[in-house]
Structure 1
């Protein structure tokens, strides 16, 4: 009988304390997107023996420059 009474006493507290607090505002600030990456590949562009990462930006509607990370 004690366990049933204790369970009935504790059960409502579980629901109250199980709420996850969420912020109403995000932790980041979005900016306007100036380039959209549509693909990427690894290649040795400058022939130094290390693979470089080439990112293709844009698409057939909006042309943009390639970006190479080396």
Structure 2
């Protein structure tokens, strides 16, 4: 990969946002490892779900509720 210098301060806000999006899209999940705290929290949530699966809700249902609240 070549190196390109960009004077970010000369970019418009929309150009900077586009740059951020391109950088973000260039990453894969393997490029962003979980922190130990994140892994611990995921393990805790998974254990809680396995202990009482009926407490869980489908993601679509949760998202629909959030969207309804936001109007």
The TM-score, its normalising length taken from structure 1, stands at 0.21
Q: Which has the higher strand share?
A: 1
CA radius of gyration, larger in = 1
Q: Which has the higher helix share?
A: 2
Q: Name which structure has the greater RCO, CA cutoff 8 Å, separation 6+.
A: 1
